[in-house]
A and B are shown apart, each in its own frame.
Chain A
Amino acid sequence: MIDAAEPAHPLPLRRRLAESAGWLGGASLGLILLVASALKALDPAAFAEEIGRQGVGFGLPPMAAALAALAVESGLGALLLVNLRRRGVMLAATALVLFFLALTGRTAWRAAHGQLDESGSCGCFGNLVERSPNAAFVQDLLMLVPSLALAWAGRPGATAASGIRSGVALGVAAAVVGLAAAAPSLPLDDFATRLHPGARLSELCAGAGDARVCLPTVAPGIASGRHLVLLADVRDPQFAALAARLNRYVRTGGETPLTVLADFRPEEQQALYWEIAPAFDLQATPSALLRPLYRRLPRGFLVSAGTVEKTWAGVPPEISAATAATAATAASAAAPK
């Protein structure tokens, strides 16, 4: 017996609703994964560092692991976005979400048990993470799990266009990996980092609450006036040669005062004092504050009245020009008459 009150075609409607909800969930999750992977692709070195820090390279060199992870994340994101929610895709997406949750959950557990040291490496500042490990876990949980759960609903069957959509997703993954491979040599520093013309030093910060530290606290000298600032790695074997150039710039009367921001410990500073004899202002800057400001070191910028005016990949041209002129003068003085 058919109940006369029951709609004539209840299943198609429910099915359509489920499919719509599923598409919405899949598209949301796909978009999140795609945007996240594209952002990471802008600075693959930073992503590789994070993989190394988390110890999740699965035996691969960090950069290879980073590229593989970007391919998987962007490929799955694209597959979900084009509504190709096949069982295999959904299982892979579920595994990826669980993996992310496991990572943030592990970090939260470590933080709760005092096994996480996110303090600035100069040793002065406390915890400089902007979202607490707990908050990161909860945010990931709330953002990823509902979308994932919805995406399982009303999965469409195979269609003739599946092959095309798979191809599109494959193309997107290849594009993201290509972007990651090309990004370091593309002039994208201003887009990929927090440091760009117009940025206020007081907005370049790390940490939350009372522990929040901004650049003017770390380097009060550059908060006012006009300064050249160089972000550098004092542990790079090339740093001694760079420091010699910077010393020359200062000693030959470089017009704009120079400050170098780098991540180092107090004992390293004492050693650098004699080893490179800095004639410039060398300021210890916690890595949590420094890392979001560059993709590759050294990186320079000009700041005026607390606002970034210009940025350069490498040493600012004013320093290069001054040191090149000094070198040329020295060479001509040394040349036989």
Chain B
Amino acid sequence: MKRGGLVLAMVFSMLALAGAQRLAAQGADAVLSGFEPSGDWLLVVADKELPKARIYDSTRAQALLLMSAELPSPVLVDRSTRSVATLDLMKVAERADGSIDLLADAVLAPSGTIEIENRTDAAFTVDGKKVLLKPRPWMLGPQRGAVLLEGDAGYRWRAKRYEPDAGSITSLRSERRDVRILTFFGSWCPHCKEHLPLLLKTEQRLADAKIRFDYYGLPSSIKSDAEATKWNVDGVPTAIVLLNGKEIGRIPNGSWASPEVALALLLHPPKG
């Protein structure tokens, strides 16, 4: 028994060494860094959905980092080799902006390979538990901004990094009329992922203002949705500005890089 344990320990040490060698070969500190919070995936461990699991994505590293109480340790999912490895939580360093780096001396313990199901889901095993990583279901229908931020780590991360234009926020705070911003979005749309968080941050900054923000999630077949048809929406994101219940304009596609500026211009157009 003792000898078996020793052999097992040797095998694991060799596997860990192999992982470490792979890290060294690709420059662990340089490549396995910059993992950004992602809201694109839903983690399922032993058939239990874990919407609160922390999932990080690094394009450059071609890898995802999964962290959940249901997993024995952080799990690195390598897309390029379709392999999975675990690592010590102490080797995971969180930056001030919320992104993650793996420390240079992190040792990856191989934990198996990934099976791709339906072209989009990744299935693998960690510590004997069946793990599935699948695209997060679309957010459809009426939504609140706070719920969107709560439910999508990617939105939260981008919103946190965005600093709205102070002058526009002041201008919007001074609004005393009945203003409603109705925003149609698609949680599947890459451009919404990029731009919607900026509006969510604007809403946060206007928490004490009179302007009301409503959101509506659409499927990718936008025209099949009755609400989209009713408001004549054929693309996302589309933010409709309503003054006393009447539409006065929409944020132009080209203005989503700073939606608060576009809103301020629509509500308080420059005179002359």
Q: Assess A127 versus B119: contact at CB under 8 Å? Given A217-B256, A270-B135, A279-B59.
A: no
Chain A 245-279, CB-CB to B under 8 Å as 1, else 0, gives 00100110100000000000111011101110111
Q: Are A247 and B62 in contact (CB under 8 A)?
A: yes
With a cutoff of 8 Å between Cβ atoms, the chain B residues found around residue A283 in the complex are 190
Q: Assess A120 versus B235: contact at CB under 8 Å? Given A210-B253, A213-B254.
A: yes
Of A123, A220, A247, A251, most buried by chain B (CB within 10 Å of CB) is: A123
With a cutoff of 8 Å between Cβ atoms, the chain B residues found around residue A312 in the complex are none
Q: Are A124 and B235 in contact (CB under 8 A)?
A: yes
With a cutoff of 8 Å between Cβ atoms, the chain A residues found around residue B13 in the complex are none
Tell me the interface secondary structure of chain B in the complex.
Answer: loop
With a cutoff of 8 Å between Cβ atoms, the chain B residues found around residue A109 in the complex are none
* B59: contacting residue among A207, A267, A280, CB under 8 A: A280
Q: Assess A119 versus B257: contact at CB under 8 Å? Given A251-B26, A265-B220, A270-B120.
A: no
Does A211 have its Cβ within 8 Å of any Cβ on chain B?
yes
Q: Are B234 and A127 in contact (CB under 8 A)?
A: yes
Q: Assess A212 versus B189: contact at CB under 8 Å? Given A274-B122, A277-B80.
A: no
* A119: contacting residue among B80, B114, B234, CB under 8 A: B234
Q: How far is the CB of A69 from chain B (nearest CB, A)?
A: 32
Q: Which residue of B lies closest to A282 (CB)?
A: B59
Q: Are A284 and B190 in contact (CB under 8 A)?
A: yes
CA distance A112 to B122 in the complex (A): 44
Q: How far is the CB of A154 from chain B (nearest CB, A)?
A: 49
With a cutoff of 8 Å between Cβ atoms, the chain A residues found around residue B26 in the complex are 251
Q: How far is the CB of B110 from chain A (nearest CB, A)?
A: 18
Q: Are A211 and B79 in contact (CB under 8 A)?
A: no
Q: Which residue of A lies closest to B119 (CB)?
A: A271
Q: Assess A123 versus B220: contact at CB under 8 Å? Given A216-B257, A218-B191, A251-B31.
A: yes
Chain A: how many interface residues by the 8 Å CB criterion? 40
Q: Kindly identify, within residues 110 to 125 of chain A, every residue whose CB is under 8 Å from any CB belonging to chain B.
A: 119-120, 122-125
With a cutoff of 8 Å between Cβ atoms, the chain A residues found around residue B24 in the complex are none
Q: Are A217 and B257 in contact (CB under 8 A)?
A: yes
Does B11 have its Cβ within 8 Å of any Cβ on chain A?
no
Q: Assess A122 versus B190: contact at CB under 8 Å? Given A265-B220, A271-B119.
A: yes
* B189: contacting residue among A127, A266, A280, A281, CB under 8 A: A266
Q: How far is the CB of B147 from chain A (nearest CB, A)?
A: 22
Does A51 have its Cβ within 8 Å of any Cβ on chain B?
no
With a cutoff of 8 Å between Cβ atoms, the chain A residues found around residue B154 in the complex are none
Q: Kindly identify, within residues 24 to 80 of chain B, every residue whose CB is under 8 Å from any CB belonging to chain A.
A: 26, 30-31, 59-62, 79-80
With a cutoff of 8 Å between Cβ atoms, the chain A residues found around residue B191 in the complex are 122, 124-125, 217-218, 284
Q: Assess A266 versus B79: contact at CB under 8 Å? Given A125-B235, A217-B257.
A: no
Does A214 have its Cβ within 8 Å of any Cβ on chain B?
yes
Q: Are B235 and A126 in contact (CB under 8 A)?
A: yes
Q: How far is the CB of A165 from chain B (nearest CB, A)?
A: 50
Q: Which residue of A lies closest to B118 (CB)?
A: A271
Does B188 have its Cβ within 8 Å of any Cβ on chain A?
yes
Q: Are A273 and B79 in contact (CB under 8 A)?
A: yes
Does B264 have its Cβ within 8 Å of any Cβ on chain A?
no
CA distance A273 to B116 in the complex (A): 11
Does B173 have its Cβ within 8 Å of any Cβ on chain A?
no
Does B236 have its Cβ within 8 Å of any Cβ on chain A?
yes
Q: How far is the CB of B263 from chain A (nearest CB, A)?
A: 13
Q: Are A210 and B234 in contact (CB under 8 A)?
A: no
Q: How far is the CB of B28 from chain A (nearest CB, A)?
A: 13
CA distance A125 to B256 in the complex (A): 13
Q: Which residue of B lies closest to A123 (CB)?
A: B220
The 4 tightest CB contacts between A and B, nearest first, are A126-B235, A126-B234, A277-B79, A271-B119
Q: A119-B222, A125-B235, A217-B257 are in contact. List 15 more A-B contacts (CB 8 A).
A: A123-B188, A123-B222, A124-B235, A124-B236, A127-B234, A251-B26, A251-B31, A251-B62, A265-B220, A271-B119, A273-B120, A274-B79, A274-B114, A277-B80, A279-B62
